[in-house]
Amino acid sequence: MKAIQTLFWDVGGVLLTNAWDHEERDRAVERFQLQKADFEVRHKEVVTAFEEGKVTLDQYLDRTVFYQARKFTKEEFKSVMFSLSRPKPDVLEFARSLARKYLMATINNESREMNDYRIKQFGLAQIFDLFVSSCYVGLRKPDERMYHLALDLIQKMPEECCFVDDRPVNIEGAAKVGLRTILMQDLRQLKKDLQGLGVEV
């Protein structure tokens, strides 16, 4: 078996909290007193295009929130959306230590504005060499084409790479392409599993 040269990482749920998953949406819905069922229906209609970079944040909000007059502004809503992101400091520091030894990249599903904000806010460009984000490439995990594209971009064989994610469905997609994978539960388990694959931690 070839030695691992590249580590691919999910972002939300691994390195940071999720950006705009159901928990974050619920908090915003409660904060701004929206009708949850109506908002979620509208969200589901546009989320794929939103995360694939085909719809801007303003367009997303026009369709999900500001299709009618509100007592709050779009900027106020955006501010809350961004504020919900939090780092996982121990995992970030661990990833930073690995960046000295390995090629590091993300494979993550994220809308463009949220992705750009999180990269800058949490210094991810200091850790990662490449961002294979859904909003940049027009594909979303677990679509196998996204993993193939990531491998094409770094010119590595799948067995030379490991992908870390916290969702089984995304791990399954990566495994089908031949990537070695780790389903992350916590940092201790992640370190142990990486060591088991020969990664120097």
pLDDT of residue 44: 98
How many whole angstroms separate alpha carbon 21 and alpha carbon 4?
31
CATH 3.40.50.1000 placement within the chain: 6-18+87-196
The total of other beta-carbon atoms located within 10 Å of residue 70's CB is 15
Q: In whole angstroms, what separates CA 169 from the centre of its chain? A: 14
Q: What is the pLDDT of residues 73-119, one digit of tens each?
A: 999 999 999 999 999 999 999 999 999 999 999 999 999 999 999 99
The answer to whether the Cα torsion of 93, 12, 8, 192 is positive or negative is positive
Q: Which CATH superfamily is domain 6-18+87-196 in?
A: HAD superfamily/HAD-like (3.40.50.1000)
Degrees (nearest 5) of the Cα angle 136, 142, 144?
Answer: 85
Tokens of residue 67, six digits: 């299709």
**Interacting residues of 89 by C-beta distance below 8 A, sequence separation 6+:** none
- 103-131 in b/e form (b: 16+ CB < 10 A) is bbbbbbbbbbbbbebbbeebebeebbeeb
Can you list the residues of the chain whose pLDDT is less than 70? none
pLDDT of residue 1: 78
Q: In whole angstroms, what separates CA 147 from the centre of its chain? A: 14
DSSP-assigned beta bridge partners for residue 180 = 162
Model pTM score: 0.95
Per the omega criterion (within 30 degrees of 0), is the bond before 89 cis?
no
CATH 1.10.150.240 placement within the chain: 22-83
Q: Report how far apart the first and last C-alpha atoms of the chain are (Å, whole number).
A: 19
Number of Cα atoms under 13 Å in the Cβ half of residue 106: 28
Q: What are the φ/ψ torsions at residue 142 (nearest 5 degrees)?
A: -95, 25
22-83 has CATH 1.10.150.240 classification: yes
